[in-house]
Every structure is written in C-alpha cells, then in structure tokens.
Amino acid sequence: RHHAVDSAVASTADDIAEMRTRGAATIADAAAGALATQAKRSEATTEAAFRTELRAAAKTLYETRPTAVSLPNALRYVLRGMEGATVAELRASTIDQAEAFQRELAQAQSKLGTVGSNRLRDGDVVMTHCHSTDALSCVEAALEDGKEIEAIVKETRPRKQGHITARQLREWGVPVTLVVDNAARRYLDRADHVLVGADSIAADGSVINKIGTSGLAVNARERGVPVMVAAQTIKLHPDTMTGHTVEIEMRAESEIVSDDERADIDDEYTDDGLVVENPAFDVTPPRYVDAIVTERGQYPPESIVTLMRELFGETTSEPWEP
C-alpha cells in the first residue's frame, strides 16, 4: 500500500495530470496546497511516519507532468521547511512553509508584473501564446498604470489555452484579436511585443514553454518584434546547471486526432504507418529572447545563470529525498 497519501493529494495530482489545473505557477500553488493538506490530515503517530507520508505525497504530485520545474521547486521548498521533534511540530512547520510558499508565489508574480509593465508603452500591442499568469501580470500592471494595451492572442492548439487568455484580457477591457496559430507571422506586423510565459528556464537562457513558442520567437526576430518572457524565479531549472536537459512532455494523440478519427484511419490503413505525436512544449534558444522578466528584475537570457547560482547554489536532490 502507498504510504497513506491523502485522497485530496491524489485528486490534486489527477487534476494536474488531466490539466484541469494547469500552467506552471498554478500547478506550483496547487502542489504546495496539497502538501499542506497532507500535513493537516496526516494520522501519522511518529515523526518518521509523518516524514515518509509527506515524501510520498510529494512524489505523487511530482509524477504528474514533467516539464514545469515550478512543480519540483515548490515541493522542495515546502519539504525543506518540515522541521521539528514531534509530529505536531512537523505538521505546523510544514503547513506554515506551504502557506509562505503560496504567499511568496503571489507576491513574486505581482512584482514581476510591475517590472514587465515598464517595458510596455501606452498604446502597445502584445502578441500572446498559450495562457500564462506571469505574462498577464505584466499586462495587468500596465493597465493599472493607465496605459492602453491591445492584444493579438494566438489560439494555441491543440488545447486552445489562448481562449483563456482572451477571456481574461476582455475582463480587463483589453481589445483582443484572436487568431489561429498559423496566422501569427502575418499579425506580427501589428505587434510591438511578443509576450509569453515559461514552464522552465535552463541555465543557458533557453526558454521552455508551450509548443509553438520557439517558432513564434524566430518569426518575431525576423520581423524585428522583441520577445519578452515573463517568468518568476520558481521557473528556473536548477538541474540544468549541471548539464541536465528539461524533459518535454509528450501528451496523448487523442488531443489531436479523436478516437473516432483514429478508428477510421485504422480501418483504412492496416500497416500502423500513421504516427501522431503531441509534444506539449518546445525550447526557444536564448538568442531569440530579448528579456526574461522576473520578480528580481529583468535579465538578458545569457545572464540568467548568475541568478540561478545565487538562488539555488549547488545541485539539489529530488524533492522527496532526505
């Protein structure tokens, strides 16, 4: 039997895996909240059993999706604060640490928004891809400064997170032009910025974000449109400092070809020669990125590694390891 992982943790993990909870910052927040719930509801009677339970919960959450490093970073942050000589102390410290994490996450996002908004001038048009709460925070801060901002929103196939972005921007009164992904290059003529988020940032300044970001960035460079990446420092991937690469999640083919369509194809062709691949993310090399905007200020991608060293120091172990 699994080490008494609470049902609320299991359902948070399920929500992340099935993308009912999605986006790197939102996933990190939910994971920290789930560890707090595990701590609150734990029936462990010994300190060792409590620690084992919390690590098992962290592992369950970690094994949902591989690309957004905010998830293991969140788990590590919370487990690092699990301290005390009794179960009661361990419980209290874990809950405190999870809540501190969630507070800092929200504060970092709003601080980052202020930094990012300084790049946006009154009347600017931003082109977005996917749905990033960090990217939207920059627009929100610009609007609060009284700037008028317009948006060209890429639909973002296959899951159309662009519609979430469009809805949020309309709620703020921002004029939105929604376009299919293939129209992006044509509409870059009208854009003053490409504004995207990140799931992970590697030590060389590469940006890992929703599939299609790299093509957008290359087209933007060709058109002379600056690319701005809004990413809290929780998106910095510590393992990449020691040469590890970021795993790109491959999702189900059913997001692209329905089961019925697949059955039709299989009826017609019997040789299994049609393969559908569905990578959820891609890697944008640093030379196509103009600025990475964090709560610690804006960085050229090439110097993000200095911030990573400062924040993470030496390589860290898996979040559930002692």
The residues annotated as belonging to the active site are 130, 199
Per CB under 6 A, 202 contacts ligand RUB? no
Per CB under 6 A, 133 contacts ligand RUB? yes
Select from 46-54, 116-124, 125-133, 170-178 the region that touches ligand RUB (CB under 6 A). Answer: 125-133
Nearest-5° Cα angle at 197, 196 to 200: 135
Strand partners, 200: 208
Q: SS3 letters for 52-104?
A: HHHHHHHHHHHCCCCCCCHHHHHHHHHHHCCCCCCHHHHHHHHHHHHHHHHHH
Cβ closer to ligand RUB: 279 or 300?
279
Per CB under 6 A, 6 contacts ligand RUB? no
Sheet holding 281-284, edge to edge: 200-201, 207-210, 281-284
Minimum CB–partner distance for residue 210 and ligand RUB (Å): 3
DSSP-derived letter for residue 250 is: B
x-or-dash pattern for ligand RUB, window 53-92, by CB under 6 A? ---------------x------------------------
Q: Which amino acid is at 50?
A: F
Please pick, from the candidates 22, 59, 76, 237, the single residue that binds ligand RUB as defined by CB under 6 A.
Answer: 22
Per CB under 6 A, 209 contacts ligand RUB? yes
Cβ closer to ligand RUB: 42 or 117?
117
How does DSSP assign 217-247, residue by residue? Answer: HHHHHHHT--EEEE--GGGB-GGGGGTPPPP
Task: Using CB under 6 A, list all residues that contact ligand RUB.
Answer: 22-26, 68, 130, 132-135, 161, 197-199, 209-210, 280
